[in-house]
Amino acid sequence: MQQGQPSRTARGAAFHRAAHQVLERGFIFSDPLAIRILGADAEAAIRDAKNDPSRRRLRLFIAVRSRFAEDALATAVARRGVRQLVVLGAGLDTYAYRASLGEGLRIFEVDHPATQAWKRQRLAEAAIPAPRALTFAPVDFERETLADGLSAAGFDPAQQTFFTWLGVVPYLTEQAVFTTLGFIAGLPGGAHVVFDYGNPPASSAGQDEDAAARERLAARVASVGEAFRSHFETDALKAKLMALGFREVEDLGPALIRERYFANRGGSLRDRGGHIVRATTV
């Protein structure tokens, strides 16, 4: 991202979530604040999405990962005793402002200071109040660690915690990814995490249309200074997660995504694409 500017990819993800509410009527992921938080930008975002059908696959994947993460969080709160939520790379995520889990869940939104300042301005302009359970945790990772940033915000490592980390991993180095996952796995109170990733480009060999789509997306994010930096082989990633201390790992690849979310909808996603992972230490 550019110095002093909010993340362009966070903005793009918000556009996709808003467009999904209109173009697919939110059939995968319903977010009543997705359009409102965008303010004057919402109309253009929806119009651009409607005029460019090639964006639909990414839009649906973004809807699926949000739905999967929030469903997994609800289960962890109800059945596992989770008491804290950390939204890593929160962008314009609206969960904290529409959640119905009550005051029993403490929420921390972690993001770069410039992106978080932009979000807070959007919230103010849209008259969306921040709940008492929410704490903003601006973290500049060039100057401080996630552990330091959360500690300063009042995070309690002894409480069982759920982390959502959506749309971030592909833009980080492998070292940065596993440093963060190692921190999560080492929390004494126990932890859960949901994140998404992509397989190496070579995995799309022979899938010309899919490979071309991936190349266009890679070029687009690189053009705004937020290039893809990491990809993972599915089996190798699971092995590393288990080695870090995660006891249960669920990996939802394209085929499983299609089976779970697009049954009877005629191939809304192909067999190649992004993966969504849920991993837990408890």
**For residue 226, is pLDDT > 50?**
yes
CATH of the domain at 59: 3.40.50.150
The residues that bridge with 251 in the sheet, in sequence order, are 277
The residues that bridge with 248 in the sheet, in sequence order, are 280
Domain that holds residue 169: 8-280
Residue 264 has a pLDDT of: 75
Confidence of residue 222 (pLDDT cuts 50, 70, 90): very low
**Range 222-250 average pLDDT:** 86
Short-list 63, 21, 15, CA closest to 42: 15
Our count of domains for the chain comes to: 1
The C-alpha angle 71, 77, 81, rounded to 5 degrees, equals 150
Residue 259 has a pLDDT of: 93
Residue 68 lies in a domain: yes
Confidence of residue 44 (pLDDT cuts 50, 70, 90): very high
CA 261 and chain centroid, separation: 18
Residue 2 lies in a domain: no
Residue 6 has a pLDDT of: 87
Residue 157 lies in a domain: yes
Give me the amino acid identity at 42: A
**Range 196-201 average pLDDT:** 92
Residue 3 lies in a domain: no
DSSP assignment of 207-258 equals -HHHHHHHHHHHHHHHHTT--------HHHHHHHHHHHT-SEEEEE-HHHHH
Residue 72 lies in a domain: yes
Residue 224 lies in a domain: yes
- Could you tell me which residues come within 8 angstroms of residue 204 by beta carbon, excluding any fewer than 6 positions away? 210, 211, 214, 272
Question: Looking at the whole model, is its pTM more than 0.85?
Answer: yes
Residue 52 lies in a domain: yes
- pLDDT one-digit tens code per residue, 129-177: 999 999 999 999 888 999 999 999 999 999 999 999 999 999 999 999 9
Q: Largest Cα–Cα distance of the chain, in whole Å?
A: 51
Residue 67 lies in a domain: yes
Quote the percentage of the chain above a pLDDT of 70: 85
CB atoms within 10 A of CB 239: 12
